[in-house]
Structure 1
């Protein structure tokens, strides 16, 4: 049998699968419960990322004990991520959970906004992270924490459970606390054709570089 000519060899697969809406998802990401995860478009999920969409909140069964198909349906999406957001390598995205006697664990939806950068090796179990937030490497956003828009979480920070980070804050420490403000003009610029990306700004320039 003759060998195929070099020009007929199959090209190497890209590391990323690109969706119709421009999302780029690494083939090396670990994603559970895909139907319960919503990506807004032009978002990047890098290698080694773990996303637990299978940990979703379900409707309660009727009090009379009757079986109902609606009772088993998911009442909300487990993880929502907005446009132009980047989840870096080896990060875990996991919906927050609260336990109660008799009913077991209850999971709550996790929402991440637009133009959010999450650094490598972070663990996100917050209730929400608003748009234009920069999370440094190795950070932990504990369950039910809330990060408002235009915030900067410095590398290695552990945001405590249920902490609400005000807009425009800089947070650092273990446990995390507000140590300053990002300042006027932070996050402005970037995202345009040929421009470099800017922390807290439009991440389109960085998204385009991911192959």
Structure 2
């Protein structure tokens, strides 16, 4: 009886699998626009209790493996880097413009032991591994790597929290102050040089964010095209035929729907001399590695 039941289950599962494949094929044939999965699928934006993140269309970059959860607002030209988590589940998180949240940083809120949101201003730099828990960061401040800014604390304009420092709950960091230690205390005033470096770092981070956004948005087909173009640039003789740089020109030079002529005819069968040159270049490149 057990064997008979197992055969029924296997037959039913096979039938369900075939039905699913048939429905998938039917849906594919009915598609008006071709759909392709992202190279790195993720759940970057997650709703909680009916509240979804509000992300500006001009946001510079949110990494594929970052998590932006719940009542979170992210402003123009801001960036959330790899592995970072911004969680607005029991309160809200507001992040202004041109602010960067570093790799593996965590921003959270509080509700149980105090009703504190996380309010982060413009031009703020939050270093990798830092924790901002239910705190307020004013414009232009810098939170160092692995530093912690805890419940109800306030960091003033252009203040700097040193690497690994712990700003205890309820602490108030004045504008332009440098705090360090655990628990963190004021060490000195920030210097004009430090403020200049912080401003330059914010601009550099924005440029990097835009570059990463372009790369992470590429499809698998674009990745393969980039790889083929890179290898072609290494092995192709500069004096030999060069692919046109513009896509429209490459399409106009298409041969029988097979792609650019240089990628078809540069081989040892149809052009032995060029094939030998390419093989020699590959051998030289391998020897140099």
TM-score (norm 2): 0.52
Query: Mind listing any 5+ residue stretches in structure 1 that lack a counterpart?
Result: 1-9, 57-77, 100-105, 189-197
CA 14–22 in structure 1, closer or farther in 2 if over 3 Å, else same: farther
CA 140–183 in structure 1, closer or farther in 2 if over 3 Å, else same: same
Correspondence for 2:101: 87
Find the aligned partners of 2:81 and 2:118 in 1 and give their Cα distance. Answer: 19
Find the aligned partners of 2:199 and 2:189 in 1 and give their Cα distance. Answer: 13
Match of residue 116, structure 2, among 99, 108, 123 = 108
Correspondence for 2:84: 49
Q: CA deviation at 1:146?
A: 0.3
The structure richer in helix per residue is 2
Contact 1:158 1:175 in 2 (8 A): yes
Query: Mind listing any 5+ residue stretches in structure 2 that lack a counterpart?
Result: 1-35, 45-54, 213-289
Contact 1:115 1:201 in 2 (8 A): no
Contact 2:56 2:74 in 1 (8 A): no
CA 208–200 in structure 1, closer or farther in 2 if over 3 Å, else same: closer
Q: CA deviation at 1:201?
A: 5.7
Aligned alpha-carbon RMSD (Å): 2.5
Q: Which has the higher contact order (CA 8 A, sep 6+)?
A: 1
Q: CA deviation at 1:30?
A: 1.9
Q: CA deviation at 1:19?
A: 5.7
Q: For 1:52-76, what per-residue CA distance to the aligned partner results, in whole angstroms no more than 9, with x for missing partners?
A: 11122xxxxxxxxxxxxxxxxxxxx
Give the match's secondary structure for 1:124.
strand
Find the aligned partners of 2:112 and 2:155 in 1 and give their Cα distance. Answer: 19
Give the number of aligned pairs: 164
Q: CA deviation at 1:149?
A: 0.3
Q: Please say if 1:24 is aligned against 2:61.
A: yes
Find the aligned partners of 2:134 and 2:87 in 1 and give their Cα distance. Answer: 13
Q: For 1:76-122, what per-residue CA distance to the aligned partner results, in whole angstroms no more than 9, with x for missing partners?
A: xx0000111010011110013443xxxxxx54221101111111111
The structure richer in strand per residue is 1
CA 185–15 in structure 1, closer or farther in 2 if over 3 Å, else same: farther
Contact 2:59 2:74 in 1 (8 A): no
Match of residue 154, structure 2, among 123, 129, 146 = 146
